[in-house]
Each structure stands twice: as C-alpha cells, then as structure tokens.
Structure 1
C-alpha cells in the first residue's frame, strides 16, 4: 500500500511546534515526533485526522496484575483500535469514550518487551474523516524527570536498554549520573527499585527489568541521590523514573512497509564480533536490540 501525505507536529523541550515536513528521497513523507522531559503530549496528523498521545504512562491494576496504561485522543469518533507488534497482536487497546482510547501493557513480558526498545503499532479506525484508517507507531522508554535538589548531582534523563550477558537474561537498563567536585561516593535510595551504582566519577546506574519496574511503579515515588565523603553526604537530589512515550509517528500506509523491521547494522556486528573472548558488556556496540539483531 502506498503512503499518502503525512504531517507531524514535533514538540521540543518547550513544546514548541515545527510543522515543516521532513524531506524523503521518494514521494512518500514520513516524520517522527520526539518528547523531551517537559512535553506532556505529542500530536500528529494524517489527512484530516489528528491523534495525540499523553507522554506519561501511568500504572493501574488490570486483569489482576499491574499494567502500564497509555492514553490517546483522536479528533474523530472511534470505531476500533488494535495494538500490535510485527506479526502479532500485543497489549490491549480499548476505546474508552467516543474519541479516546488506551493502550494497556501488562507487567512482565509485554512491558519489558516495549521498554527494551521494540516499537508498538496502533491501528486506528474512525467513523468519519479521511482516511478512515491509519496506524500510529510509538516508542515507550524509561526516562528520568522532576529533578529536585543540588545541581552538583547530574542525572541523565535517558535510561537505555543494553546487551549485557548475565546468565539467561542479557538485558540491563542503564542510566548515568555524575557529581561535580570531589566526592567519594554516590548512593541511590528508594522504597524499592534501587539500581546498582558503580564507576566513579561517571557513575553507571544498572537495573534488571524487575528492579526497573519497581522503580517506575508507582511513578509518583522518586529515587533519592546522595553524594559525599567520609564526613557524610554533601549533596542530595531526587528524580522520578517513569515510562514515557518518546517517539510518535502516523501513516495511512502499510505499517510494515513504512516501518520495516531493522536488520543487523554492519557497524554493530563488527563491534560485537570484535570484542575479546569473555566479554559480557556490549553496551559500546549499541542498544540492546541493535546488538541482539547481530547475535544470531
């Protein structure tokens, strides 16, 4: 199916708009909207349809387990919605009012799969408008925000899935933090979901999926960072770790043609296969899914 004209609204850190389409080599047009930490909603249009996603996912009890719920709003009455990944329905998509729907990702396999970097597709069918059917592609990722406290502790907004061999599970979620001035240590405390912290002065923050889920659910509970020396803590800061929609795009074409599954990147493959025997941490080669595609 050929892709027709597509327009996207891109949000910057101040949620300002840039309506200039991204040029493509073919007549097809395609763009991606990315969310900085201050963007609360992402918008995109295709034809005379507009769709928006709330960037911040929230956790609720669904079907007896905790689940991440992501909400969206359309400008046309909704007939049906379906969430899927290549070749398979994935998560639950529910129409909750005439123009609003939600995506539910249950804790465990569904949530871990999406947070580890697999894009989620959402097919939307409307009762009016042109076109009557279109597909959204969203990326959901762990992100820090709501930073409060000392500017001497810097916490990277991004937490990135990395390929690190550790028994039967090769997925770690890694963040970064650093401290200005001389300190001997950085520690992180929370009711649960505390990462492994190491690598002074440019600290790595590592979570397994289980720990990551504890850290982001509920999203209202911050992690507390302290840095200091023999005489105790000299700097303190808090930040919340949440699941956030970081990319959003729309098309009225065939989603598999517009967004085909990425192959193994030759540069990632060369990096992966050039590592010394016994290497367990392949984060220098790319993200978790970039490396995973080159391990087969």
Structure 2
C-alpha cells in the first residue's frame, strides 16, 4: 500500500510504512501546530493491486493533559483548547482550585511555560503561544508542574503530561474527500458574536473554537500592517552596530587577533542570517509571538561561539536590541 498525508492548507507529514498493516505519520513542530490548532489531517491510502479503490481518512487532533500526579486540591481540566485571541492563536488549558488557593504558575524543564491568568476565585487559565506547546509536550515525560499555596501557606503541586490525542477519525472511499469534509466557512452566528464583542481585537473564546472563528477574521477590522523588517534591514542595522562596537573595542579586538573593521563589515552576509523560531535558540528570551529575532554568526572573531542578535517589535518594526551574545 501507499499512503500520503495532507491538509487543506498544504501541510504534509512524513509517512513511514512500518509493515503491511502499519504506517506512521511524523510531523515537525511547525507542521504539527496548525493541525492541533484545528486544521484537519487527511490521508490517502491506496491498497496494492490494480483496480482496488483508494480509501481516505480525516483526522482531527487536539492536545490534552494526561498522567496526572500530585495534590488533589489542583484539578486540571483534560483538554487544551485552541482559541483565537484576536488574530493570534493560543492553546488554552484551565485549572480549578478550592477557595483560598493561590496558583503560582506552571513550569517545565524547557522554558515553554504558559502565561497564567486568574479568571475567578477558583479558576485559572493557562495560555501557550503556538510555538511553545509542542515543546511542552515533547518528550511526554517532561511534565508540566502546576504550583500554588493554600490559605495556610502550604505549598501545593500537581504535574501532568501533554499528549496529542485523536479527537475524531472518519473514513470513506469517496473520491474527493475535500467535498465530504470541506474547509470551514464563517458561520453567521460566529460572525455576529465577534461583531458584538465590546472591543476588537480581543479574546474570542466565547464565540467558538479557533477552527470556527478563523474563517470569520477576514470580515473583522484588520490590524494595521506593520513594517516588514527584512534580512537586508537587519544587515544594515548590524553594520551600524559593528561600526559602533569597533569604536569602543577596536584596539582590544586587533590585539586579540580579530578582524579589522572593514573585514568585519564585509563579513555581514544576508545568506548567513536566520530568523529565530525555536524557543531553545532564543538566547535573549524575547517573546517570539511579539518580536522578530534575527541572528548572524560572529564577524569580529570568525568561528567563535558568539552570535549577533537583532530584536524587532512585530507591531511597528522598531529595533529593540542588537548586539553580540555568547
């Protein structure tokens, strides 16, 4: 048999045939995010042999908490829901506690923690940016630890792992599965709910899931288009920073065998500039949802572990920080 994987937006996975009856579909973190955010995964399964019809599968995935351990005073709701906060996708979990308990946050070992918001006397909300959630659940053994204190000041802790679960699976031999399972469209009730919100953009959870809300966003007032900060723009800012850096440290650089200033400036190359998308590589710790972070290998001491980072606000393209980091 042959198997292919795809989605409405073109997301594909890597299919591995394990045996005659078993196959696996693997995804990178960036491929996984839209699928757990509400987009459907489709599989085409073509049995071996002429004349045999192909079969199609539609799969919906969703993250959820599993493997709970710890204090019974902290109740973790199982499902993690994809919702839209304005135009931004977030993954939202919730915790319930007795009165008098104060939650102190949720933590793990790879700095992909959610933002905590208190919703009421006994309810707490935890929002992950899309890039962070896959790291929170990979590996599964890397549990999230929810910490708090009770009314007497005693510490409370409960842990849970995040797994990606099958929410729905459907099969057919209908030849055009996109007609059977079409891409979502904007429902009148959802659009009316969005238009009735007190302000915009704002949290849309009360109007539906990310899958239900996203098709309606094109009909809502759009945010101003922020300036596009290109690699060439960063390269220009990097050259300015290098000139200033040599103005302060040139004698020490040359005494240590580093490049001359002209050599350093000529070493700036847009092909060596990368956008930081992995939280593990975000050395300066800026929120990647609101900041664009570029990096370039060192041009002062070529081959060193030093990296030059440039951080820009996505809202207006403003430069926040630019300099070397080791």
Q: Distance in 1 between matches of 2:144 and 2:50?
A: 45
Q: Distance in 2 between matches of 1:231 and 1:278?
A: 41
Conserved? CA contact 2:146–2:157, under 8 Å: yes
Q: Which residue of 1 aligns with 2:18?
A: 96
Query: CA RMSD of the aligned region, Å?
Result: 2.1
Deviation per residue, 1:14-33 (Å, 9 max, x gap): xxxxxxxxxxxxxxxxxxxx
Pick aligned residue for 1:196 from 106, 110, 115: 115
Q: Which residue of 2 aligns with 1:220?
A: 141
Matches within 5 A, 1:62-73: none
Q: Which residue of 2 aligns with 1:261?
A: 183
Deviation at 1:140, TM superposition (A): 1.4
Matches within 5 A, 1:131-150: 132-150=53-71
- In structure 1, stretches of 5+ residues that fail to align are 1-78
Deviation per residue, 1:147-184 (Å, 9 max, x gap): 1122221111111111113xxx6111111111024213
Q: Which residue of 2 aligns with 1:281?
A: 203
Q: TM-score, normalised by structure 1?
A: 0.67
Report which of the two has the higher share of helix. Answer: 2
Deviation at 1:289, TM superposition (A): 2.2
Q: Which has the larger radius of gyration?
A: 2
Q: Distance in 2 between matches of 1:257 and 1:184?
A: 49
Q: Distance in 2 between matches of 1:184 and 1:87?
A: 42
SS in 2 for 1:209: coil
Deviation at 1:235, TM superposition (A): 2.7
- In structure 2, stretches of 5+ residues that fail to align are 219-326
Q: Distance in 2 between matches of 1:275 and 1:185?
A: 29
Conserved? CA contact 1:143–1:157, under 8 Å: yes
Q: Which residue of 2 aligns with 1:292?
A: 214
Q: Which residue of 1 aligns with 2:272?
A: none
Q: Which residue of 2 aligns with 1:173?
A: 91
Runs (4+) off by over 6 Å: none
Pick aligned residue for 2:157 from 228, 236, 247: 236
Deviation per residue, 1:35-68 (Å, 9 max, x gap): xxxxxxxxxxxxxxxxxxxxxxxxxxxxxxxxxx
SS in 2 for 1:261: coil
Q: Distance in 1 between matches of 2:147 and 2:131?
A: 23
Conserved? CA contact 1:138–1:248, under 8 Å: yes
Question: Aligned pair in 2 of structure 1 residues 278, 259: CA closer, same or farther (>3 Å)?
Answer: closer
Report which of the two has the higher share of strand. Answer: 1
Shifted more, 94-103 versus 81-90: the winner is 81-90
Q: Which residue of 2 aligns with 1:107?
A: 29
**Number of aligned residue pairs:** 214
Deviation per residue, 1:117-159 (Å, 9 max, x gap): 1010000011269964201111111110111122221111111
SS in 2 for 1:210: coil
Pick aligned residue for 1:154 from 63, 66, 75: 75
